[in-house]
Structure 1
C-alpha cells in the first residue's frame, strides 16, 4: 500500500463477535495494528500499548484496532487475559488472512500477517504504512508524532 491510496474496505468481527466495518469510520482516522498471533509476548506488548494510549488516540480522532488471523473465541479469551477494556481486536480468521492479503501484509509461508501499522485518514486513504521486524514492538511514537504534526 502507498500513502494516499484508497484503503480497502472490509468487515471483520471483534473479540465480542461484533462487526467492524472500515467504511463506517469515515470522518475519523483508523489505526490498523496488524500483529501475527494472539498469545505471544511481542503481540501482547503491541496490543497493551494501544490500550494504554487509547485515550490519546481518541483525543486525536483516531480509532485504534488490532488485527490478527486468530479466531474470535481466541481473541476474546486473549483480550480478557491481557486486560483489554477498550481496544477492539479483530479476527482475520476466515477467509484466512483475507484483510492482511488486501493490505499486502499476509505471510503465506507462516500463515499470518506481518507486524505493521497502517493509519487510514478521515477520507479512507492511507496516511501511514510501516512494516516492522516481526520480533519488534511497533513504535507508537511515530504515529502519535505524525498525528500531532
Structure 2
C-alpha cells in the first residue's frame, strides 16, 4: 500500500473541499480520518513548546529550571492560581497537586520533572494544561 504524507495546510484544504454530508460511507470515513489527523497535528504542535518536559535527560531537574516565575506567582496558593483559569481541567489539577503536597506554586516548581510527571491523577492533558498556565505567568525576561 502506498503512503502519502500531507501537512496541516493540505489536510485543511482537502477537508474544506469534502462535502459536509457525504452520501457514501467512504466520504464519512475520509472526513473523520482527516479531522482526527488535524487534531493530532495541533496537539503535537502544542506539546513542542514543552519539548524539554519529555526529554529523559531532564527527568531529575526541577520545573523551576525551565519556567522562571515572578515571586508573586511563586507565593500564590495552588488553589488561587489555578482558580483564575476558565478551563475545567484545573479543578482536578488543584486536587491532585494538593494531594501531592503542593500548597503553593513554589512547591510545584520545586518538583522534579519525574515527580511532576508521576503525580497521581494527572495525565498528559493535565500536564500540558499546567505547563501552559505556568508559561502564561512566567517572567517576561525568560
Global fold match (TM > 0.5): no
Task: Choose 1 or 2 for highest CA Rg.
Answer: 2
TM-score by length of 2: 0.24
Q: Relative contact order (C-alpha < 8 Å, sep 6+): which is higher?
A: 1
TM-score by length of 1: 0.23
* Structure with higher strand content: 1
